[in-house]
Homo-oligomer: A and B are copies of this chain.
Amino acid sequence: MHFFSDNATPVCPPVMAAIAAADRADHGYDGDAWSARVDAAFSALFETDAKALWVASGTAANSIALATLCPPYGGIMAHEQAHIVVDECGAPGFFTHGATLMTLPGEGAKLTPDVVAARLATIGSGVHHSPARALSITQASEYGRAYTPGEVAALGDLTRAHGIGFHMDGARFANAVAHLGCAPADVTWRAGVDALSFGCVKNGGMIGEALVFFGPHAAARVAEAKRWRKRSGHLFSKGRYLAAQLLAMVEGDLWLANARAANAAAQALAAAIPARLLHPVEANELFVRLTAAEAARLRTQGFDFYDWGKGAARLVTNWSQDAADVAPLAAALAVLDP
């Protein structure tokens, strides 16, 4: 039974159904009837006039967002563990044409205004230093931590004060919102976020994430983003098959229902092993203390997951699971304890 990644999970049935329903002739690229509904669907979800694009992957969503916020000579502040820093083979550098990643520390892979403000204070005003032009945070974070609306807003205030763009990598945005119980708007544009990578694939989609722009610059930025999307090979010939997936997710509450299921499974696991948790569980990921011997024992029982450095492991739940599904792992973990 796999707990190594939500990427490993099949596509949820409503998304498969939506793809089948889109299997008709229509105009190519984003000229079809499904793509035409994407802006409205995300605007409704976020209770504002948003602009949204489908792209192939979270890496593309993140990088295109950053390219609209940061010039080549600028800097992007992000947590040193952020996916854009560690796991994308330098994609932000590619899309921004060489912008500098300004990496920052922070508990639970989260950034705080203090850390960000301190970094900003080191940057001179002349041409020798790259100016910070974007802040990127991950919701939920790389350690499965959720930023509260207040935490996001405090960072948002800082970006506004310094004229810096604010990006949120929401590969697991749904899980964070499900945990927080807030409106999606509360942790995005109401808190100052300019651009959101809205994850679908880990949450039951097949191919395609959404890149959502908010605020007064949204129209100008999405126009730029459409150029980057084309130029980077992400304007698919048959875009309706991506648009249909996004619509299936957000025209109803499928995105939230799937995330709630994954979160509930994570909480069920967490409840079984409170003493092993390295981070509070606020989404669908658990980081647990686990010796190599313990890990090996679990694997012989058929459980699969990623090692997370020495003496730890990452367990990821997903939309297809409920408490009963994770019960065998919970039981196996409980047995490990002395």
Interface residues of A (CB under 8 A from B): 2, 4-5, 7-11, 16, 19-20, 23-29, 55-61, 63-64, 71-75, 86-94, 96-101, 103, 127-130, 201-202, 206-207, 224, 226-238, 241-242
- Tallying the copies of this chain within the complex gives 4
Residues of B within 8 A of A101 (CB): 100-101
Subset of 20 A-B contacts with CB under 8 Å: A7-B28, A10-B24, A11-B23, A19-B19, A56-B56, A57-B237, A58-B233, A59-B233, A73-B228, A75-B90, A86-B129, A88-B230, A91-B230, A91-B232, A92-B98, A94-B231, A201-B237, A206-B238, A232-B232, A234-B234
Main secondary structure of the interface of A (DSSP, over half): loop
Alpha-carbon distance A60/B57, docked complex (angstroms): 13
Question: Would A23 and B8 be within 8 Å (CB), given that A98-B93, A99-B93 are in contact?
Answer: no
Residues of B within 8 A of A233 (CB): 55-61, 63-64, 88, 91, 232, 234
Closest to A123 in B: B86
A28 touches B5 (CB 8 A): yes
Residues of B within 8 A of A20 (CB): 16
Residues of B within 8 A of A29 (CB): 7, 128
* Other 13 A-B pairs with CB < 8 A, given A19-B206, A88-B233: A8-B28, A56-B236, A59-B233, A60-B234, A63-B233, A73-B90, A73-B230, A86-B129, A88-B231, A90-B98, A91-B231, A94-B231, A127-B226
Residues of B within 8 A of A129 (CB): 86-87, 89
A94 touches B5 (CB 8 A): no
Question: Would A241 and B97 be within 8 Å (CB), given that A9-B25, A87-B128, A228-B73 are in contact?
Answer: no
Closest to A98 in B: B93
